[in-house]
Structure 1
Amino acid sequence: MQSVTSYCRHAAVVSALSLSAVLPAHAAEDVSLRISWLMNVQNAGYVMALEKGFYEEAGINLGIFPGGPNINSTAMVASGQNTFGTNDVSSILFGNAQGMDLVIVGACFQKNPAGVLSLAKTGIKEPKDLEGKTLAYTEGGPWTYTQAMLNAAGVDMDKVNKVVMAGNEVLMTGQVDAKTSFVVNEPVALQVQGYETATLVPADYGINAYAETIFTTADFAAANADLIKGFMTATAKGWDYAFSHQEEAVAAVLARNPELNPEQQKRQLALEEDFVKSADTAKNGLCSVETAKVADSYEILKTYGGLEGDLDIPAMVKTEFNVGQ
């Protein structure tokens, strides 16, 4: 018969083993990500990293929160309401010019999807073809990068009829020949309605500007290097998984925003792969960032975007969090 002492020791061991089976070695860190707009496949990498447990493996308990017309991700992160945010690189640069203290820890869209959209029947295949045509624009990212592209391509801006208008309807009704656009979603919206489209992407003409830039505060980055490295590693794995399992990724995004058009989201995700993967990501990993490219964007924004003030770009860009480092 087992003695009372040995029984108690056995019970203690079983109890400890049982607890170790259900309790993590250490509590996961609560982290929040504020995306730049409403949930769609532009965020497929973060969604899949969450769905497949990549953030959990990195010791991160992540919450993903939508942006929107009245929610500025840079302001939310700068004020401490969210840990990380995503946005166009211009938003981080303008934010710091206005006194925010943000740092860039990654960039998931190596090519910025801001550009020019036209119907294929107009025959606009290169920037020079816009001479003699009517181009609709609104102030902001696409127009800033479009101006830089047209200048780089030697387009005579006096020969381009520029009008301030928005919406795909201005193309559909023939009011204009082309419009500034985000070329991973707006062309798809036309294509599902039966229109053939053509696009011009400034990144294809040497205009460097990241999108889906991931940022946090300088103070948080200084104190949480391991967490950020884990976050970026999980995010890169999420994007890789999303492109390898596109139907699953689209379904996961639709579950979070059922109002999206499934066919449009499917086509958009397929287009995004060319914007996320590059020669740089082959070397440095998905969502990597380079100081020189952010510096290029800074000069573009000072020339065409109205950015004022001096910024310390090397101090803002944290290449040490590149997954390939």
Structure 2
Amino acid sequence: MISRRSLLAAASIMPLASLGLGGVVPAHAQQKQVKLQLAWLYNAASAGEIVALKKGYFTEKGLDVEILPGGPNSNTVQEALSGVAQIATTYAPEIMYGANQGLPIKTFGAAFQKAPLTFYSLGEANIKTVADWKGKRIGAGQGATAQVKAVLDHSGLKFEDITFIQAQIPGLLQDQVDVVASWPTNVAQNAPVLQHAGGYNTQSIWDNGLQFQSNYYIARTDLIESDSDMLAKFLEACDKGWAYAADNPEEAIDMVASMSSAIEKDKELASLKVIVADFIYTDETREHGFANISKDRWNATLQTYARIGEIKPELTADDVFDDRVLVAAQRTKR
């Protein structure tokens, strides 16, 4: 969970001053400088934002954007609060815990329409539903215990009904756990399970009572209130970047690779194709547009987390989400 002390200290620092005007501007005009803090390292999950940078889509909107990599020790809520970055990407629990502490941060859009987190088991275990987890060894990262509790709660089970073990895919293959959490977007990591001769079964959090979205764009509430126009232009550029990445995945991965020589392009390309097909574009984006967020889903998620004792019961979607940027932005329906 996010450190209350560090975040409350960070919350007292105002973000960098806004400069310039939005829109397409001539080369001599001053552009608005914006830092985007990613939740994770440069990879396929940030392809749309990187394409928007490399193709000049941010520049077209009058924005001079710098994209900062995240990583396992990154705390993007703190970095947005402190002004290290004006915009950051993060995950639903971090936003909820921030709101639970009264921190002035909200989301204004979500690149991923569904959080990918999924639980895998080998076919011979015959684990076809979450109800089948009772008495089983369930593997996940320590930070995923709340998600495990929420999924169990949806099926009428308690955390005490399982044995929780910190594990990843190798733990499943080595019979250390019966079920393990992973991300279908990580095609290379999951390959041994997907190719298992006895088949495999899955239960996603999305299909089991926890309809998180993911890769939420967040900003300080005062920035959303004072400069929603800039955030709308940012979102429009990301929209264009993700559309280009979807239509030109090989080129998009080349752009990602230009930011980090450590990635393996063939593996990231496979991941990008899954990300685009299953998580960026869905029925929701076809109806409502890129980066759509549902208040009803936020309310349901908050109620679930309150029920399992993770947050205060009085929190609502309005405490975590401001829709004015989505309303203002011209977004692609795809």
Structure-2-length-normalised TM-score: 0.81
Q: CA deviation at 1:117?
A: 2.2
Mapped contact 1:192–1:264 kept (Cα < 8 A): no
- From 148, 151, 154, the counterpart of 1:149: 151
Q: CA deviation at 1:262?
A: 2.5
- In structure 2, what is the Cα distance between the partners aligned to 1:110 and 1:318? 17
Q: Gapped runs of 5+ residues in structure 1?
A: 1-21
SS in 1 for 2:190: helix
**AA in 2 matched with 1:244:** D
1:1-325 → structure 2 map (5 Å cutoff): 24=27, 26-141=29-144, 143-154=145-156, 161-185=162-186, 188-191=188-191, 195-196=195-196, 197-273=200-276, 274-304=278-308, 306-308=310-312, 310-311=314-315, 313-322=317-326, 323=329
Structure 1's 237 and 318: CA in aligned 2 closer, same or farther, altered over 3 A?
same
- In structure 1, what is the Cα distance between the partners aligned to 2:246 and 2:153? 34
SS in 1 for 2:52: helix
- In structure 1, what is the Cα distance between the partners aligned to 2:314 and 2:267? 41
SS in 2 for 1:140: helix
- In structure 2, what is the Cα distance between the partners aligned to 1:59 and 1:199? 44
- In structure 1, what is the Cα distance between the partners aligned to 2:308 and 2:65? 37
Q: CA deviation at 1:286?
A: 1.1
Structure 1's 124 and 291: CA in aligned 2 closer, same or farther, altered over 3 A?
same
C-alpha distance after superposition, 1:130-160 (max 9, x if no partner): 345322234334x4334333333455866x5
**Of 74-83 and 300-309, the range deviating more from structure 2:** 300-309
- In structure 2, what is the Cα distance between the partners aligned to 1:278 and 1:302? 28
- In structure 2, what is the Cα distance between the partners aligned to 1:182 and 1:223? 36
Q: CA deviation at 1:305?
A: 6.1
Structure 1's 165 and 195: CA in aligned 2 closer, same or farther, altered over 3 A?
farther
Q: Which of the pair has more CA radius of gyration?
A: 1
Q: CA deviation at 1:182?
A: 2.9
Structure 1's 291 and 193: CA in aligned 2 closer, same or farther, altered over 3 A?
closer
Mapped contact 1:103–1:216 kept (Cα < 8 A): yes
Structure 1's 134 and 315: CA in aligned 2 closer, same or farther, altered over 3 A?
closer
Q: CA deviation at 1:292?
A: 1.9
- In structure 1, what is the Cα distance between the partners aligned to 2:201 and 2:246? 24
User: Between the two proteins, what is the percent identity of the paired residues?
Assistant: 25
- In structure 2, what is the Cα distance between the partners aligned to 1:263 and 1:209? 28
Structure 1's 125 and 250: CA in aligned 2 closer, same or farther, altered over 3 A?
farther
Structure-1-length-normalised TM-score: 0.83
The number of residue pairs the alignment matches comes to 301
Structure 1's 157 and 192: CA in aligned 2 closer, same or farther, altered over 3 A?
closer
Mapped contact 1:183–1:201 kept (Cα < 8 A): no
